[in-house]
Structure 1
Amino acid sequence: MAASKDNEEASDAPSSPKKVYKDPDDGRQRFLLELEFVQCLANPTYIHYLAQNRYFEDEAFIGYLKYLQYWQRPEYIKFIMYPHCLYFLELLQNANFRNAMAHPANKELAHRQQFFFWKNYRNNRLKHILPRPLPEPSEAPPPAAAPPLPPAPPVLTPVTAAPGPALSPMQYGIPPGSALMKNDMRSSSIDRRKRKKDG
């Protein structure tokens, strides 16, 4: 009977507060681990790996992906270095996308699209960011003036045949018998051929 009284008194006493888990480093380790995982989602190959190993069939993992959407808030997004991870995190909320990423062809398609985005993003963005020059004010057209005359065609003089053998283009303007003519490549090659035949 005394034991039952002690139990009743213990149950009437206010229950002691439950111990709340306190991170030894104030959540820094958890923050870094979640940041690293979220940024891994920028890689379609990693998403394919998760799909191949059936992580997307685990309800707890799907809940974790839903929980990680807090990284889209401004106070956290400033820590993200690879913004594509947030785009893929959003796509991973859809079951069709999770199932599709199990196929290698879809992984390759996502890689190609990501590459084309990176390749053209800056130029496309600059088109919309850079200010366009203002149109010049339209002025009244000047009074009609006579159109400019086309230049006169050059006058061609007839060429008379030079006496003797035709000169090579390299020999024009060089007097025959000069030292320059003797060093001409064509004439020296002809001399060598003649020597071979004679010899």
Structure 2
Amino acid sequence: MIVCTFNARTLASDASIEDLMVQARMIKYDIIGLTETRRHESHHAVFDTGEELFLGTCDKRGVGGVGVLVNTNLAKSIDSFECLTTRIGRLHLNRCGSLPAVSIFIVYTPTSHYDEREIEKFYMELEKFYKEDHTFYKIIVGDFNAKIGPRRSAEELHIGTHGLEWNEQGERLSEFIMSTKTIHGNSQF
């Protein structure tokens, strides 16, 4: 399964959605987690090709919004998509053939310019939703606004071996990864 993430910067207009679809069809993907969609109304579309698009809403300030684009070959496996907050969404896929049931969380973390309490609240909510989800296979994708560098010690097995540098947001993400016993795959930009 090829799961990607894309910071859309806006999917508030039909033209921006059309552009997304044109660009998505040029790459090989099964699921694209979408962040910073900035929509004021939720949106669900099924395209002629069989692809499905789910978009949640942003907050009152026009910030955030998450969604997901599911390719035709997985569309029949969709159980549900829900926006848990304006920054956290969850796609449930039912078991289909050799594909097990999967929950995919799409997240858009506040930047370091936000108050520490708001960043902490985001991670507490994400951890709560993650731990409450009883699907065996769970994936978290999105824009964490963080830099995680290479593993610094043998104990940091949850961190991949590739990366350039760390920042404060990366430290916070690393704490989340350790508390949820998840693994950070190597990031590409």
Q: TM-score if structure 2 supplies the norm length?
A: 0.22
Radius of gyration: which is bigger? 1
Greater helix fraction, Structure 1 or Structure 2: 1
Which fold has the larger relative contact order, with Cα–Cα distance below 8 Å and residues 6 or more apart in sequence? 1
